[in-house]
Structures are given as C-alpha cells and as structure tokens.
A and B are shown apart, each in its own frame.
Chain A
Amino acid sequence: MCAMKLFEHEAKALGMNFNLPLPRSHLASTADQAREAAEKLGKPCAIKAQVLVSGRGKAGGIRFTSTPEEAYQIAKILLGSDLKGEKISKLLVEERIPTKKELYLGLVVDRSKRCYSILTSTEGGVDIEEVSEKAPQKIVRRDINPLSRLREYEARDIAVKLGYRGKQLHDLASIILKLYSMTVAFDGELVETNPLIETPEGEFAAADLRILIDDNSLFRHPDFQKRAMEMTEELKPLEMKARERRLAYVELDGDIGVVGNGAGLVMATLDMMKHYGGKPANFCDFGGGASSERVSDAIEIVLSNEKVKILLVNILGGITRCDEVAKGILAVRERTGAVKPMVIRLVGTNDEIGRRMLVEAGIESFQSMENAVEKAVELASEV
C-alpha cells in the first residue's frame, strides 16, 4: 500500500472548493482541446502533463507557449508520450502567471511530534528537501496542535515570518488556513503548493497543487477509495493483484521469491539474504493468522513473477498455524505442478504437524532462519 496521490487537476478541483487562488485552467486530452483551451484563456499558457511521478518539470513535463497554435503543437508531442515511465494521457492548459517570487507552502505529517507541520519558504519552485538541507534558515516551520487546530493568528505569524505585511499578510494567512482546512478535510498525508507564486502586483497564485491522501483514511472518502483500487499507474501488475487480495507485496530486482508472516520478519529475511549474497525478488507479507488459501494466494503471486527461480517461505507461527501454512504450500504444488524449487522454514504453533505434512510430500523444511536463507541463496546460484 502507498499513500494515494491525486493528479494536479484533481487536486486543483478540490482546491477550488476551498477558494484557493488558482490560475485559470482547462483539462485537455487531445491536441485540439489544448488549442481550444489556449484560445479560451487568451494568454500565454503553461501546458502541464498530468502524471503522478515527481520531478515533472525537470523531466520536460511542463512547457510554456505563447499562441494557441504552439499549444496545439506541444500537446501533440506530449500526449501519448512517456514521462519518467508514465504515459501522458491528459494535459492541464493553464494561464501563465507573471512571477515576482516563488514560494513553497506545504503541510506534512511530523511522525515524531504526531501532528501536522506547516513548512513554508520564500525559496520555492525547487525541491524543498534540498532547501532544508542547504539553507534550513530559509524554512519557516510550525507544528499544529491537532486538538486546537490551526488558529488564525498562527497563520498570520507565519506570513509575518516570511516577510509579508499589509494586505499581503492577510492574503497569505488566508491561503495557509485554506490549505490546512483542505488537508484536514481530506486526510492529507502531504499537501503542498510549489510554487506558490507572488506576482509583480503582489497577488498570490497556487501554480501547482499536490495532494497525497493517507490510505488508511480512504474508508471515509468513498470516491477516492474506488479510484485507489483502479489506479494502476504506479503499481506493477503483480503488486496490483496482491493489493486486491490485501497482501503486502513489493517487487524488487532479484531472483529469490520471499513469503513470510510479519513485515519485520520478511524485511529481516531480505536483509539476511543480501548478507549471504542472494537477491530477493520481492517483499511479501501475508500477515498474522492466515488461512491456507491466503498462504497459497501469496505464494502463487510470488511464483508468477517470471524472474523468480527459487521460493523461500519463512514462517514463525504465533497466531499463524504452521499446519495451515503447510496445507497452503501443498495446495500450490498441486495446482501449479511445482516447477520451481522451494525452501521452507517452519517453526512455531503446530510446527510438528506442518513439517510432517511437508516431509510426506517430499519437501524438506528448516527450523533455523539462517539455514533456510543460506540454502535458498545456494540453490539460486546453481539454477
């Protein structure tokens, strides 16, 4: 699972409801629509690829045009092309905002303080992580008490710290409050506008808007929940399949498939495998108390990765029963014909029953995690 990202145009549609100052824009999925949009705006435009990968600007996903014809030509090039591995199917055609200064304004979750923090900087338009490393003094940060929430005076404090007075102080404070309201309303994990543009006339405009939603909150955002299940842009096909079955699965580069019970145990298995010179093909955790069906689901997904030469199953049964695991392993062998070698480590609740079931089917199993991982690495180097 990963936080759910929204496309810029979706984020901006939400931002409109909160009255954030946004540039006028139109969505286009054909070059003709892009030309029309530019005509309607009647100004120089930015043509922005609607993709979820970050670093869009640097990769050439944002282009500037001065005429509708130019917008048409650029849209033709961008639409259907690849940006950092993601296909561009939509463009946002947006009026270009004259820029005096670029600011950063973001809301992040501070894990150690367990609250939202506001991060702002007058050094916007670039990667904020870079700013915080190179020039931390350029960042104004404020933690928000989740019980009292962001107060208006706190927002004004921030605006003043950034150097704004008069009308601009009020305008900026109001943007900060709106962005915070939006973050809370949509359970944002990260909400940022970068750049937030200050125009030569002293107005502000949120030229970009990015929202990541905490996926544990999706039950109260039914529209996005549906989208999250359909969204495949970032997930590999097997990751998608695992997600449908509520398995924690992450694809890696190696050739040894790994399945286990418990996130920490599986991470430890991958680390140990690397230590012995092996390469894990994936991370896969089927959690606690799994049924034999769940175990065989997990194994099948891992085995269907073509790169996998060996399968390693690492189980320390607590609420997970080793006999259920053995049943799951045997079921997969039956269904798929067991073309790939398996190394099994099985200890804990009902392990004697489980191991006996495996022995009867001619499968060797280990009690020690080290021995099992070493064996898997050894086999992988032979295949």
Chain B
Amino acid sequence: MGILIDSDTRAIVQNITGTQGSFHTKLMLSYGTKIVAGVTPGKGGLQVEGVPVYDTVNEALNEHEADASIIFVPAPFVKDAALEAIGGGLKLVVIITEGVPMKDAMEFLWEAERSNVRIVGPNTPGVITPNECKLGIMPSHIFKKGGVGVVSRSGTLTFEVCLGLARSGLGQSTCLGLGGDALVGLTFVEALEMFKNDRETDAVALIGEIGGNAEELAAEYVKTAWYPKPLVAYVVGRSAPSGKRMGHAGAIIMGRSGTAESKIKAFESAGVDIAEMPNDVARILRERLE
C-alpha cells in the first residue's frame, strides 16, 4: 500500500542506457522494484542490468506490462519523452531530470492532465514506498516502513526529516518529492488527498519551501476540507532574499509573493502544526500520534 507505487508497480526506465539511468536502474532493482523494460531511442536490443532495452515506449509496452515510467533523459528531450510515456498509456511518470524549460513543462503537464496521467517532478528525487518499491534516486537505507506519509519539494532535506523520524521510531508509508523546478506535476493538495485515503498512512509531514503558492493552496485545502490525520508543515527559506533563486529553479521569491512567512501564516491559519526545524517534524508527530 502507500500511495502512487507499491509492490505491484511495474515500471520502465527512459534513457536506461545513460550514466544516471543505468546506475539507478541497478539500485532500484536491488531494492526490489519491478523494472520490466528500458527505452533509449537507437539503443534497442541492448540489455542493462538484465533489463531489455527498446527503441520506443510503444515497443516496450508491446512486450511488457507496465504502469509507470521513470525518466532520466537530458532536459532538452524531457518534453518528448514525457509525451511518449503519456501517449503509451502509462499512468504514472516520474521525471528525475532537473531544469526543464517552463514552456515544455506546460505542454506535457496539460497533456498529462487531459489523459489522466500523474506526473511527479521534474527535478524530483522520486517516490519510495518502503520495502515495496522505489522509483527514484534516493538513498534507500534512510527509509523505514511506517505510518508517516512524507511529501516534499526538496531532496536532501526530506532525508534529514526521515532520519529524524527514524530516530523517533517512525517510518514512512510513502515518501515523495514534488520536484524543485518552477513548474511541476503532482501538487501538495493531490498528495494530501491521496494520503488521506491511504489506510497505511496515520500522519503526514509536508515539507515546503519559498516560491510559488503550492503551500498556500495546501493550507486552503486543509482549511476547507477538514483533514482527518495529524499533519505537520515545515517550510524553509525564511532567510532567503527576494529575487534570488535558492538552488532550485522554483525556489524564488518574486516581489512580495512566495515568501516563507506567507506560507507559514497560511498553514497556521488552517490550524496546521508548524515545525521550526527538521527535528520538530518527528517530535510533533510523535506527540500527535500518542
């Protein structure tokens, strides 16, 4: 169980022959993820870690059943790879690549919405349902099976929070990164909704950062539709100056919008517990779950 992926998930890897693609295919396989095929145009017929490689997504899907794809293609080709995955009928597409042009992201995100496909990313560390399936590049040893759903806009900071959870004896139902680019697919609101309906999730940790208004929309959602599980929000970037990108393309305060203060205020007014530091997340959830 958990959300988005579980032990039944069967995935393909796009650009499985690249450095990142082949390296992480190996790690995902050793975690137990069912990688059934790889795709790299022009490299059909090869094998990577025992996984057969095809020239096109359609060819791969003619030979194998799959429901998800993980994309490692370079940024200039992400749009086409994502559209190919959507066109092939896959229902979940995880995009690891960072720095996808916004104009490209608009196109495949709208196409995905029209076709009822979930996109996670771009610029995400991926999704992991501990002990079941990992579609991503996160270090698996950090994650433990448990009841906390974790949704975040960053990578390493999520690992920091999960380490804290582990020290408090808390594990994760599913942990996912929404992605650090300015335009990404899956939203906090959608993740909260999925965690709400997941039987294995007892509580949720939301890790946000400056830029955009995804956190404000999540707060609004919690405010209007009462959230039945303990929820803690941790938002970083209080010390970020306006107009500067803080590492992620999406982490930027534009004029007066996208500040950490505005996001924290929104969560407070929705009655959501706020973590000041990474370790507060575990402490607060521990208290709430007792």
Chain A residues close to B by CB (< 8 Å): 1-2, 109, 111-112, 114-116, 129, 145-147, 184, 187, 189, 214, 216-217, 219-220, 248, 250, 252, 260-268, 270-275, 280, 283, 285, 287-288, 316-319, 347-349, 369-370
In the docked arrangement, what's the CA distance between A17 and B11, Å? 46
B137 pairs with A217, CB closer than 8 A: no
A216 pairs with B102, CB closer than 8 A: yes
- Note all chain B residues with C-beta closer than 8 A to A146: 103, 106-107, 110
- Note all chain A residues with C-beta closer than 8 A to B104: 217
Interface residues on B, range: 35 or more
B102 pairs with A217, CB closer than 8 A: yes
Q: Mark B152-180, 1 if CB is under 8 A from A, else 0.
A: 11111111100100000000000000001
For B24, give the chain A residue with the smallest CB separation. Answer: A319
- Note all chain A residues with C-beta closer than 8 A to B110: 114-115, 145-147
A265 pairs with B157, CB closer than 8 A: yes
- In the complex with contacts A220-B76, A264-B153, A114-B183 CB distance below 8 A: yes
For B154, give the chain A residue with the smallest CB separation. Answer: A264
For A184, give the chain B residue with the smallest CB separation. Answer: B103
B155 pairs with A264, CB closer than 8 A: yes
A349 pairs with B163, CB closer than 8 A: no
Shortest distance between the CB of A147 and any CB in chain B (Å): 5
B250 pairs with A248, CB closer than 8 A: no
Query: Which 8 A-B pairs rank lowest in CB-CB distance, beginning with the nearest?
Result: A264-B154, A263-B247, A262-B156, A264-B157, A318-B139, A146-B106, A217-B101, A248-B247
B241 pairs with A252, CB closer than 8 A: yes
B155 pairs with A248, CB closer than 8 A: no
Q: Mark B105-121, 1 if CB is under 8 A from A, else 0.
A: 11101110010000000
- In the complex with contacts A217-B102, A318-B142, A318-B156, A111-B238 CB distance below 8 A: no
Shortest distance between the CB of A173 and any CB in chain B (Å): 22
A349 pairs with B246, CB closer than 8 A: no
In the docked arrangement, what's the CA distance between A247 and B210, Å? 19
A216 pairs with B101, CB closer than 8 A: yes
- B99 CB–A CB distance under 8 Å: yes
B249 pairs with A216, CB closer than 8 A: yes
- In the complex with contacts A111-B183, A112-B217, A319-B160 CB distance below 8 A: no
Shortest distance between the CB of A350 and any CB in chain B (Å): 11
In the docked arrangement, what's the CA distance between A116 and B232, Å? 32
Q: Which of B30-38, B49-57, B61-69, B274-282 contacts A (4 or more CB under 8 A)?
A: B274-282
B99 pairs with A216, CB closer than 8 A: yes
- In the complex with contacts A264-B153, A265-B156, A316-B163, A115-B106 CB distance below 8 A: yes
- In the complex with contacts A252-B239, A263-B246, A288-B155 CB distance below 8 A: yes
Shortest distance between the CB of A193 and any CB in chain B (Å): 18
For B252, give the chain A residue with the smallest CB separation. Answer: A2
- B47 CB–A CB distance under 8 Å: no
Shortest distance between the CB of A291 and any CB in chain B (Å): 13
Interface centre among B75, B101, B110, B248 (most CB of A within 10 A): B101
A–B complex contacts, Cβ < 8 Å, 17 sampled: A111-B250, A112-B213, A114-B183, A116-B106, A216-B99, A248-B247, A262-B157, A264-B153, A264-B248, A267-B240, A271-B237, A287-B247, A318-B137, A318-B139, A348-B159, A349-B139, A369-B160
B103 pairs with A217, CB closer than 8 A: yes
Given contacts A129-B256, A264-B209, 18 further A-B contacts (CB under 8 A): A111-B182, A146-B106, A146-B107, A217-B104, A248-B246, A262-B154, A262-B156, A263-B154, A264-B153, A264-B180, A265-B160, A267-B251, A268-B278, A271-B236, A271-B277, A275-B276, A316-B163, A318-B156
A265 pairs with B183, CB closer than 8 A: no
For A148, give the chain B residue with the smallest CB separation. Answer: B110
- B214 CB–A CB distance under 8 Å: yes
- Note all chain A residues with C-beta closer than 8 A to B239: 252, 267, 270-271, 273-274, 280
In the docked arrangement, what's the CA distance between A189 and B99, Å? 14
For A266, give the chain B residue with the smallest CB separation. Answer: B247
For B276, give the chain A residue with the smallest CB separation. Answer: A275
- B229 CB–A CB distance under 8 Å: no
Shortest distance between the CB of B117 and any CB in chain A (Å): 14
In the docked arrangement, what's the CA distance between A288 and B278, Å? 20
In the docked arrangement, what's the CA distance between A95 and B246, Å? 41
A109 pairs with B183, CB closer than 8 A: yes
- In the complex with contacts A116-B106, A187-B101, A219-B76 CB distance below 8 A: yes
- In the complex with contacts A250-B246, A283-B246, A114-B105 CB distance below 8 A: yes
- Note all chain B residues with C-beta closer than 8 A to A270: 239-240
For B183, give the chain A residue with the smallest CB separation. Answer: A114
- Note all chain B residues with C-beta closer than 8 A to A273: 239
Shortest distance between the CB of A192 and any CB in chain B (Å): 13
Partner pick for A283 among B214, B240, B277, CB 8 A cutoff: B240
In the docked arrangement, what's the CA distance between A250 and B106, Å? 28
A111 pairs with B212, CB closer than 8 A: yes
- B223 CB–A CB distance under 8 Å: no
For B207, give the chain A residue with the smallest CB separation. Answer: A264
Partner pick for A267 among B152, B213, B246, B249, CB 8 A cutoff: B246
B107 pairs with A147, CB closer than 8 A: yes
B240 pairs with A264, CB closer than 8 A: no
For A190, give the chain B residue with the smallest CB separation. Answer: B254
In the docked arrangement, what's the CA distance between A316 and B279, Å? 14
A347 pairs with B163, CB closer than 8 A: yes
In the docked arrangement, what's the CA distance between A316 and B278, Å? 13
In the docked arrangement, what's the CA distance between A34 and B188, Å? 54
A112 pairs with B209, CB closer than 8 A: no
- Note all chain A residues with C-beta closer than 8 A to B41: none
Shortest distance between the CB of B130 and any CB in chain A (Å): 15
- In the complex with contacts A2-B243, A250-B244, A370-B279 CB distance below 8 A: yes
B102 pairs with A263, CB closer than 8 A: no
In the docked arrangement, what's the CA distance between A114 and B119, Å? 13
- B245 CB–A CB distance under 8 Å: yes
- Note all chain B residues with C-beta closer than 8 A to A271: 236-239, 260, 277
- Note all chain A residues with C-beta closer than 8 A to B142: 318, 348
Shortest distance between the CB of B116 and any CB in chain A (Å): 15
- Note all chain B residues with C-beta closer than 8 A to A189: 102
In the docked arrangement, what's the CA distance between A24 and B238, Å? 45
Interface positions, chain B 184-211, Cβ under 8 Å from A, are 187, 207, 209-211
